[in-house]
Structure 1
């Protein structure tokens, strides 16, 4: 955990010197979580302003507060900066440079969290491995993760998300990764990034910020592989996927696991992972490739991949008496939807799909939803349930039975009624953007699935 003199902050934050020999331990951006000796950073967000909670943080024992505006009515040290968000990043970057520890960073349109968890499972067998929690992959979450680096930390594994141009460049400059992984480029966040080319450029900033002795780990099958290869600022490159350095063969995709042969240079070995679907084999290849870069032995890689946890909300099977639920409710984009449908199709028997709109797809959003429904027609899915206007309009392209809903409560009532009266067991895929709250549907069906 970060521990530093308050007097050292002005040099890091480029502000006036301050005379204080106090030492802060830990950084907080939420007054509810502030504990004695913390440094409180007042972040101004869309729904809240941390400046409104500086007094509460100081009352709870915060040694100092980083703010954008000085409040003369407050006691305690206030360090005034132009931008508290950038101050948070600068402080995290400074702390990271104090440790000669490998930092593995992952970005990409899909697969970031799964690859992160796989690598964490592998490397944690070799020593203390710090991995970012959940989706702490932005300009707030990444710095907060880096503050947890300690002398005992042997590896750091973080993911980096991008909602707009420049995001990955900013995060990479903070984390200073030694290994950069790009899983793929696919339609996501198009509302701000506008095109696949812009997404590729934004993601590519990860490998253009690598040190000369670093390593880029790239998806050989991605259409932007050659572009990323050119932008790679390190002297090393390892590719994964078909035609790459690390590839799979003899794949066997089962309902609750995936088996394959891992090939990396002179090594050939059979592996099993609990994650389902061919796309997760590719995620495992990315994780294995990065681990090989760190000279991890194959047995440790195989054991770590086998133990890597399945993540609720991300192609997570919940099996019961009446239905089998494939919970992929965490988020959605067209490529991730195709992968989820492929996974559902390995199930025998009747199959349904519950879809919530895929958000932030920009001006082509309706077209992308239409294309997704047309592709579903080839999958053998018998019933479609849509939540949201985009899939509601696109449902007319579905060739079998479909129903549209405008709120999640009515959707839940309808599904529960159908499940309770169904004479046969069905498998149901539930997928949509987080704002559609399809996790509520999953929880409701789990309760009904007795």
Structure 2
């Protein structure tokens, strides 16, 4: 119902003048508010998020966030700990997200999307991350990292074929970059695709693949010209579909954290991939990857920012209630100093990601700045995790406390989507060093 109301409002953008639209939005927000039963936690977060992001939030953004949060409060928050224990996100969660318009919201309406911009994607990322990284990792990768390759480089036939399913949650997507012997060095991938008539014969292995075991389609980075010089000019992108003969899933990888997130291996043994599944031009794959990594790394920076905000929030709640030596530990100067230091860093991070989101929306080349945000905020979130766990004392090491999960989930953020070291290398190059 919330999704329907939102779609109606989006349509009215081109019909009503600004004053009429604002009046109508206010009425819709008040109507929807009558049916929202946010948890105490959610009410706190609504206030917090609206304040920190006010610089570019409109009434439409607020309505979108409330609708999304209402759905997550009902369909995700109550079950997330069980998903972590089961190490799985049920497929029906994807379908419900799609049904309500919360997967790939930027996709054009002709392919089933809402036709929104990245500012709405930022809200989606934030709200999913507040539930947990196990949910956010797979859905954000699907919505904001993989599907854009199809939208930007796919043919009309490819868009019609795959995007509607991605929007509805019927198709889960993955991207196969990392290999056992090639991570940061994308030009060094060994997975090969040899052209034979109307097919490519694909061979190789991919590892650490988010959505790897559940993906219905995977954008695979491969070499179509192993003799190309430089090597990156021989890289192409192929879409491999579930059910193709020779396409196998390896083991589900047992990670330290993000337990509910699907991370697995992909194996390709003489897979016949139709030439019609080539994304863009042959030999242009590396260029496409470089073009899209700006958004991918901004997504990760936003995720880390939310993790830091959430860890601080739950720690403030804890120290205000935990008593020692006859008073709450929030009264100790050491606690206050630690909280003050974290709050300062987190505020700096929030200001930066908001600024970068606006510049990204404007189409600016912010590769250097996004690289800065990705490494610094991911490292900051790790520092926050350590300090927050320490302030929880022994209880922080217990699985029943949320800080324990977030503490073990966050370290990998400084590794995937470009390690801290790679980010610093990019920054140095951009500074002509």
Q: So what's the TM-score if we normalise by structure 1?
A: 0.25
More helix by proportion, 1 or 2? 2
Q: Which has the higher contact order (CA 8 A, sep 6+)?
A: 2
More strand by proportion, 1 or 2? 1
Q: So what's the TM-score if we normalise by structure 2?
A: 0.26
